[in-house]
Structure 1
Amino acid sequence: MQGFLHNGVKVSLLQDAAGGVVFKTGVFSLARRGTLSLQEKSSLDVRPVMAARNRLLIELREAQRMNDSQVRLIPNHDNLYEWVAVIVGPKESPYQNGKWKLRLICPPTYPLSPPTVTFLTKCFHPNVDFRTGAVCLNILRDGSWTPAWNLHYVCLAICALMDIPNADSPLNCDAGNLIRSGDLRGFRSMARMYTIEYASAEITLE
């Protein structure tokens, strides 16, 4: 199938195995079922996607200039919408001097919609799923997110969450129960043990 230019961006029209039409540019693809009329082709608006790409390019330039000892952040070599970060555990916490690798996935509607963040390094914390690495953080919800925030801010918010966990909405029930029962010493001991076991090695941004 042929493509067309929209706002200076080439949009290719491909047909998938089910007979649907796939819009595809250099930065995104979106499947649409059914017949595509010429009017629909010309009305396809890729501006939100280009806005996301432009915003992420700005964040890339800022990340390259930034000298932050607590957060290092770079995009995937092949995908500007997927980033990797390394954060350092907060001082005077059981996570002190630990290093955790995060994956941040930005949707095509970023920054209107929040990124999805996953811990790639194991972390014993009430708001981090120990098995999957999922994070429970209020600013990462659609109703709480604002486009004024960026990926660096998200990483700093996660560092703050590590320092002040929220045991009322745990993804790790074992960690949450220790805090809710008042056994802070037990929680800190477990968090420190897992920090030493999983987060003591040097981590590269590859």
Structure 2
Amino acid sequence: MVDFARVQKELHECNRDFEVSGIKVMPKSDANLAHLLGTIPGPLGTPYEGGSFKIDINLPDGYPFEPPKMQFATKVWHPNISSQSGAICLDILKDQWSPALTLKTALLSVQALLSAPEPDDPQDAVVAQQYLRDYPTFMGTARYWTEAFAMTSSLGVEDKVLKLVEMGFPDALVRSTLASVDGDENMALEKLCSG
């Protein structure tokens, strides 16, 4: 059974120093502490800089003795992250996990992975090949994906609502969906399309 007291404590600690780390973790719904949404900022000096990346976190029954299951909800172009599913290739999310680690340390490790790709141990072979064979194109593609998927649009809320309503979604549904994803237009669209 998931240790929910520990999860509560971890959420509190993680969000307490949000101003410093930029890392945030929230329950996806009030009723379920085993399904969380993490947010990490793209590291400075990388093609991910300026992006805000959402990570879907599912805690297995054995947490903290089993690693959290994490995958990117934001599309990202990186050798160790699947461009299709968002799956992450990172040892501490598999066999190197320890109960001494926390959600925050796991998210910091994911953030560090964005800074230091390991193309020789890829999750996405296509991206890894591009990284190794055509680095400038890799950098351009990673930057483009960051701008397209990880940067909150500079549109105001009303502009976002109007844009989504013009796509045929009801106004009230658009507003509640935007609110549930912190105004992230791309995530709102994904939710509306999958709902």
Match of 1:155, SS?
helix
Question: Which AA in structure 2 matches 1:93?
Answer: T
Shift of 1:117: 0.4
Shift of 1:178: 1.7
Q: How many residues align?
A: 155
- After TM superposition, the structure 1 = structure 2 runs for residues 27-106 of structure 1, keeping only pairs within 5 Å, are 49=1, 52-67=3-18, 68-76=20-28, 77-106=30-59
The answer to whether structure 1 residue 148 and structure 2 residue 104 are counterparts is no
Q: How far apart are the structure 2 equivalents of 1:104 and 1:69?
A: 18
What is the Cα-based RMSD across aligned positions, in Å?
1.9
Residues 51-86 of structure 1 deviation map (CA, whole Å, 9 limit, x = unaligned): x22211221222342233421111231211111111
Q: Which residue of 2 aligns with 1:109?
A: 62
Q: Classify 1:205/1:154 alpha carbon distance in 2 versus 1 (closer, same or farther; 3 Å).
A: farther
Match of 1:95, SS?
coil
Q: Which residue of 1 aligns with 2:78?
A: 125
Detail structure 1 runs of 4+ shifted over 2 Å in the superposition: 63-70, 202-206
Q: Classify 1:86/1:176 alpha carbon distance in 2 versus 1 (closer, same or farther; 3 Å).
A: same
Residues 76-110 of structure 1 deviation map (CA, whole Å, 9 limit, x = unaligned): 31211111111110001000001111111111111
More helix by share: 2
Shift of 1:205: 8.9
Q: How far apart are the structure 2 equivalents of 1:149 and 1:91?
A: 24
Structure with higher Rg: it is 1
Shift of 1:204: 2.2
Unaligned runs of 5+ in 1: 1-48
Q: Which residue of 1 aligns with 2:149?
A: 198
Unaligned runs of 5+ in 2: 154-180, 185-195
Q: Which residue of 2 aligns with 1:169?
A: 121
Question: Which AA in structure 2 matches 1:113?
Answer: E
Q: How far apart are the structure 2 equivalents of 1:102 and 1:108?
A: 19
Q: How high is the TM-score relative to the length of structure 1?
A: 0.70
Q: Classify 1:189/1:64 alpha carbon distance in 2 versus 1 (closer, same or farther; 3 Å).
A: closer
Q: How high is the TM-score relative to the length of structure 2?
A: 0.74
Question: Which AA in structure 2 matches 1:88?
Answer: P
The percentage of aligned residue pairs carrying the same residue is 32
Equivalent pair of 2:15/2:23 in contact (CA under 8 Å): no
Shift of 1:166: 0.9
Shift of 1:179: 2.1
Q: How far apart are the structure 2 equivalents of 1:88 and 1:98?
A: 6
